[in-house]
Amino acid sequence: MDRSEAPPPPADTVPESQAATEPSYPRTEDTTTLRAEVTSCAPKDNPDIYIVDWDGPDDPENPKNWTVRKKWAVTLVVSSYAFLSPLSSSMMAPAANQIADEFGVTSKPIIALFTSIYVLGYGTVS
């Protein structure tokens, strides 16, 4: 039997997360207005809340309004950090034998620990 021909599972075997549920509020215009009033907290209502927003839809500080050139520049800077930080641990691995010669280390497990400890420290700090 093909999957498309299979009957749906009984209602009690469908997980709640996949079951279609109706919203617990009626869909009216008044409800939408009420929900908007509940979610927008003005600082005068609660001084602990600080609302951060743009200065209108044409605010030049809003990344959506940046030029394509500026967007690509920011993308390249952030990407270079993501590329260069793990690259530094990769550069150390081929030089492990030279580092061992410099410091007089002859044990192979200790030489392997050079890179392992570096990567462990990198992972703990990051």
Alpha carbon distances (Å) from 115 to 32, 102, 103, 107, 108 = 58, 15, 15, 14, 12
Helix residue spans in the chain (DSSP H): 29-39, 68-92, 96-103, 108-125
The domain total for the chain is 1
CB atoms within 10 A of CB 96: 19
Residues of the chain with confidence (pLDDT) below 70: 1-44, 126
* Contact criterion met (CB below 8 Å) for 9 and 19: no
Q: Is 21 among the domain residues?
A: no
Q: Is 11 among the domain residues?
A: no
Q: Is 109 among the domain residues?
A: yes
Q: Is 39 among the domain residues?
A: yes
Q: Is 7 among the domain residues?
A: no
Q: Is 83 among the domain residues?
A: yes
Q: Which domain holds residue 69?
A: 27-125
- pLDDT of 19-45, one tens digit each? 555 445 555 554 444 444 444 555 567
Q: Is 6 among the domain residues?
A: no
Q: Is 60 among the domain residues?
A: yes
Task: Please tell me the predicted confidence (pLDDT) of residue 114.
Answer: 83
